Amino acid sequence: MKFDYKAEDLIIKPYKSESPVYVRKQKGRYQRIRQLTGFVFVMVFILLPWISYQGNQAVLFDIGKQQFHIFSETFFPQDFTLLAGLLIVSCYLLFFVTTWLGRIWCGYVCPQTVWTFSFIWVEEWLEGSRNQRIKRDTQPKTLDNIVRKSAKHIVWGLMSFLTATTFMSYFLPTHELYLDLIALNWTGLTTFWVLFFAICTYGNAGWLREKMCIYMCPYSRFQSAMFDKNTLLIAYDKVRGENRGRRKRKDNPKELGLGDCVDCNLCVEVCPVGIDIRNGLQYECINCGACADACDQTMTQFNYAKGLISYTSENALLGKKAKLLRPKIIGYGILSILAMIFMAYTIQVRVPIEFSVLRDRGTLFQVDFDDNVTNSYLLKVTNKSQLDRHFNVSVLNSNVSLSADKNILIKAGEIASVPVHLTMTPDEIKERVSEVSLQVSVSDMSDVKAVTKTKFFSN
Ligand code: SF4
Ligand code: SF4
């Protein structure tokens, strides 16, 4: 029997290989804004770990000590609910901005976009323009090609290494991290994580690029659920552009039956995700505005009005009035503001003390010769502030006397174990088990105190 297919046709390929996207360099107003936002983002990312606040690193996520320092605040694992609150605020803000401005985050601030454009800039610098790069990849390998490509990968490697080291300086003290790097004294764990993040950066920005946005980013998949007909997006004005077709500058398009699109293909060549925006709104589009800049450039050359591709909305394209205030955007806006107020309030009223009471496991209670009953406890007091402080322990029940080191010095961010003994005389004992309230306060902050209740056993 003769089969009309080959053996390799039977192999199921999980991933369809795609031709690489060669991005053409584009100038224009949106690209200037994108470069500026990218620059500000990178500068903040690099400089933030170097900033000191009250003698400490201002932003440090100290995983080893389980403490997150953000300027005047220190967060502990017990503050996990605040992290949940922060995620809720970020989600509402993202919903609000996406409904209003579309995928502006992706195009202008997303680290994947910022780093990908930086890597493309290096590629262009060392390998030449888009056409030169295509030529290099299709021609036989020459010495010049090998040298330039090797140089590109070395620069990408250095950028990835610096990115990873900077990222690690959010988790380890910055000065020590760099001093240890100079002395080649990194621990195995530090070396592992820096190499891991460097490989991720190199792979994402150098090789995967738009595939991260298209196949891996969940945001690109669900962002359309937030869009409505008034959301700002990059779109091609089909009514004005079609019929597309090539022509000379002096030609009259109306006489030729053509629209304003001269089919120069520039909008496709500058697109970092390799799509043709003239095919309509696509989830791959990151709203970077490069195609709008490219098209404006072509429109200017042909003396046509700019804006054939522009930031607009579906309603505006249909000639309807675009509405800014609409129920969805107002709802997300109100929720964002409420969530931010709640977060700010929660952080503001947070006390820099955390304490828990553990009963003595050895004996339930002790009775002395005068029939006085004593219960013993161990207090675990955490100083959640960034300064060494004195703490006072007291009991709020007037019928109970306390024996403990009442003024305890606890270093910033540390936990102290304080033995406490509570005693009741026979006259004061009314019940077999009574409730007592212990209080810990800060010596130099009269209004800061924390109270917890525990049981007192008398027989
Ligand atoms: S279609 Fe335009 S806005 Fe969208 S990603 Fe491509 S170049 Fe950027
Ligand atoms: S850049 Fe503008 S004119 Fe050129 S192909 Fe794209 S839409 Fe048409």
Closest-CA residue, ligand 2 atom 8, reads: 261
Q: Which helix (H) or strand (E) holds 348?
A: helix 327-349
Question: Alpha-carbon distance 262 to 258, whole Å?
Answer: 8
* Mean residue pLDDT across the chain: 91
Angle between helices 111-127 and 130-138 (to 10 degrees): 70
**Interval between CA 121 and ligand 1 midpoint (Å):** 17
pLDDT tens column, 150-193: 999 999 999 999 999 999 999 999 999 999 999 999 999 999 99
Percent of the chain with pLDDT over 90: 68
Find the range with the poorest average confidence among 16-25, 166-175, 240-249: 16-25
Closest-CA residue, ligand 2 atom 1, reads: 295
pLDDT recorded at residue 281: 85
Q: Which residue type, as a one-letter code, is found at position 330?
A: I
Residue 443 has pLDDT above 90, yes or no: no
Instruction: Select from 194, 31, 217, 32 the least CA-distant residue to 112.
Output: 217
Question: Alpha-carbon distance 341 to 330, whole Å?
Answer: 16
Preceding amide of 243 cis, omega within 30 = yes
Pocket of ligand 2 (CB under 6 A): 236, 241, 244, 261-267, 278, 294-295, 298, 308-309
Main-chain phi, psi angles of 70, to 5 degrees = -130, 100
Residue 5 has pLDDT above 80, yes or no: no
Closest-CA residue, ligand 2 atom 3, reads: 261
Ligand 1 atom, smallest distance to 294 CA: 7
How confident is the model over 87-115, as a mean pLDDT? 93
pLDDT tens column, 73-95: 888 887 888 888 899 999 999 99
pLDDT tens column, 197-239: 999 999 999 999 999 998 888 888 888 788 889 999 999 999 9
Residue 15 has pLDDT above 70, yes or no: no
Residue 13 has pLDDT above 80, yes or no: no
Question: Alpha-carbon distance 328 to 335, whole Å?
Answer: 11
**Interval between CA 243 and ligand 2 midpoint (Å):** 12
Q: Write out the residue limits of the CATH 2.60.40.10 domain(s) in the chain.
A: 353-457
Which residues, other chains included, contact 179 with Cβ-Cβ below 8 Å and sequence gap of 6+?
185
Instruction: Select from 269, 318, 313 the least CA-distant residue to 295.
Output: 269
Percent of the chain with pLDDT over 70: 96
Instruction: Select from 246, 270, 271 the least CA-distant residue to 259.
Output: 246
pLDDT recorded at residue 64: 86
Find the range with the poorest average confidence among 4-13, 41-50, 185-194, 310-319: 4-13
pLDDT tens column, 260-283: 999 999 999 999 999 999 999 888
pLDDT recorded at residue 351: 82
**Interval between CA 240 and ligand 1 midpoint (Å):** 19
User: Pairing relation of β-strands 401-404 and 373-383?
Assistant: unpaired
pLDDT recorded at residue 27: 94
Question: Alpha-carbon distance 306 to 293, whole Å?
Answer: 9
**Interval between CA 404 and ligand 2 midpoint (Å):** 80
pLDDT tens column, 378-433: 999 988 888 888 999 999 998 899 988 878 999 988 889 999 999 999 998 888 99
pLDDT recorded at residue 14: 55
**Interval between CA 156 and ligand 1 midpoint (Å):** 24
With the CA atoms of 114, 115, 116 and 121 taken in that order, what torsion angle do they form, in degrees rounded to the nearest 10? 90
Long-range contacts of 415-419 (CB under 8 A, 24+ apart): 415/380, 415/381, 415/382, 415/383, 416/380, 416/381, 416/383, 416/391, 417/378, 417/379, 417/380, 418/378, 418/379, 418/380, 418/381, 418/393, 419/376, 419/377, 419/378, 419/379
With the CA atoms of 445, 446, 449 and 454 taken in that order, what torsion angle do they form, in degrees rounded to the nearest 10? 140
Residue 16 has pLDDT above 70, yes or no: no
Pocket of ligand 1 (CB under 6 A): 234, 270-273, 275, 277, 285-291
Ligand 2 atom, smallest distance to 263 CA: 5
pTM: 0.84
Comparing 128 with 224, which gets the higher pLDDT?
A: 128
Topology, domain 353-457: Immunoglobulin-like (2.60.40)
Angle between helices 111-127 and 29-47 (to 10 degrees): 110
Find the range with the poorest average confidence among 1-15, 134-148, 173-187, 436-450: 1-15
Q: How confident is the model at residue 12 (pLDDT cuts 50, 70, 90)?
A: low
The end-to-end CA distance of the chain, in Å, is: 94
pLDDT recorded at residue 361: 81
Closest-CA residue, ligand 1 atom 7, reads: 271
**Interval between CA 264 and ligand 2 midpoint (Å):** 5
